[in-house]
Amino acid sequence: MRELANSDITLVYELYWRFLHALERPLIQVQLFGIVISLILGWLIAQGILIQWRRRFVAINEGELNDDKPSFKHYATDLLRLMLTPVLGLMAVSGLQTGFIQWGWRAGLINVAINILWTFIFYRGFLLICYEIFPSAEVRRYRLQFFAPLFILFVINTILSLLTDIDKLFQVTVIRLFDTPVTLGAIFVITVGLYFWVMGVSIVEQLFLKVSFLIANQKTGAARATSIIFRYFLIGIGIVLFLGYVGFDSTALAAISGGLSVGIGFGLKEIIGNFIFGA
């Protein structure tokens, strides 16, 4: 066991120094500096354009549309606010990439930055569509609690994967629980992964309710009751799957699943009755 702990410490130490060694390379530093300057330049230009746009037209609060009849200026403002910065940032970093290619320098980090910016543009475009379809307050909530953290996690993973070995880092054993090694990857999955699962289930529930209300043309108690059952079922399934992924005993998982099903059934019985009969 001590030998295993020593090997894990050695592995973490090696990955740490590999990361620092990559950052100490002059070419990496030049690329990072160029990327930061390009993004700042794109952001400043975007802010200047937005300021001039709002001075010329009626000022519109961030993320809010006219609920009655949104005008072209509303759509155009949301389009500029969400898409202008990433597009200009992509143009600036692409120009930097062209310069590196002409100088004959390697631009691996810049290529990764361009891929991230393309993903960011698609992410902002998705948010733009959501703002036009769903209430702004709900979109902002899930943007802060789900979509933005997910995108940040994607960026961190992409950058770290370029500079070090993430897979080896996730295999490092942190503790031993009931003679079972619990790795850093398992802890990440059971915490961060479960968080995103629960938030994703919440988004699916809201979509289900919106579709149900559109079909029924009214807010029915049956739809809400069904969404509650659906949410707890998916959350329970997620807990069982994640616990199974990190290596918990299958017999214990079966017992937990059975108890969870019975508990949810009794707990929701009264709630469902209240929703359906309007109590």
Final residue in a domain of this structure, among 171, 195, 229: 171
Whether residue 77 is found in the same domain as residue 186: no
Whether residue 135 is found in the same domain as residue 230: no
Output the pLDDT for position 211.
74
> Which of 118-127, 202-211, 242-251, 253-262 reaches the highest mean pLDDT?
118-127
Side-chain-side CA neighbours of 39 within 13 Å: the count stands at 13
Residue 185's CB is within 10 A of a number of other CB atoms, namely 19
The count of domains in the chain is 2
Whether residue 159 is found in the same domain as residue 187: no
**Is 250 or 182 the better-scoring residue by pLDDT?**
182
pLDDT tens, position by position, 225-239: 777 777 888 888 888
Average pLDDT over residues 115-141: 88
Residue 156: both structure tokens together:
């961190």
Residue 4: pLDDT over 50? no
Closest CA relative to residue 209, chosen from 188, 230, 232: 230
Output the pLDDT for position 62.
46
Whether residue 24 is found in the same domain as residue 87: yes
Final residue in a domain of this structure, among 149, 171, 193: 171
Whether residue 40 is found in the same domain as residue 167: yes
Whether residue 81 is found in the same domain as residue 48: yes
The whole domain housing 255 covers: 174-279
Whether residue 77 is found in the same domain as residue 211: no
Whether residue 208 is found in the same domain as residue 197: yes
**Do 49 and 123 form a contact (C-beta atoms < 8 A)?**
no
What band does 1 get if pLDDT is binned at 50, 70 and 90? very low
69 three-state secondary structure: coil
Output the pLDDT for position 17.
66
Final residue in a domain of this structure, among 171, 186, 211: 171
Our CA angle for 192, 194, 195, nearest 5°, is 65
Whether residue 1 is found in the same domain as residue 123: yes
Output the pLDDT for position 9.
60
pLDDT tens, position by position, 25-60: 788 888 889 999 999 999 999 999 888 887 776 544
What band does 88 get if pLDDT is binned at 50, 70 and 90? very high
Whether residue 83 is found in the same domain as residue 197: no
CATH of the domain at 234: 1.10.287
pLDDT tens, position by position, 160-181: 777 676 777 777 776 766 666 7
**Do 227 and 174 form a contact (C-beta atoms < 8 A)?**
no
Output the pLDDT for position 137.
84
Residue 78's CB is within 10 A of a number of other CB atoms, namely 21
d(Cα 206, Cα 219) in Å, to the nearest integer?
13
Average pLDDT over residues 14-23: 67
Whether residue 127 is found in the same domain as residue 223: no
Q: Which of 9-13, 91-95, 103-107, 230-234 has the lowest mean pLDDT?
A: 9-13
Output the pLDDT for position 122.
94
Whether residue 158 is found in the same domain as residue 179: no
pLDDT tens, position by position, 66-87: 444 455 667 777 788 889 999 9
**Do 238 and 198 form a contact (C-beta atoms < 8 A)?**
yes
d(Cα 121, Cα 128) in Å, to the nearest integer?
10
d(Cα 34, Cα 156) in Å, to the nearest integer?
19
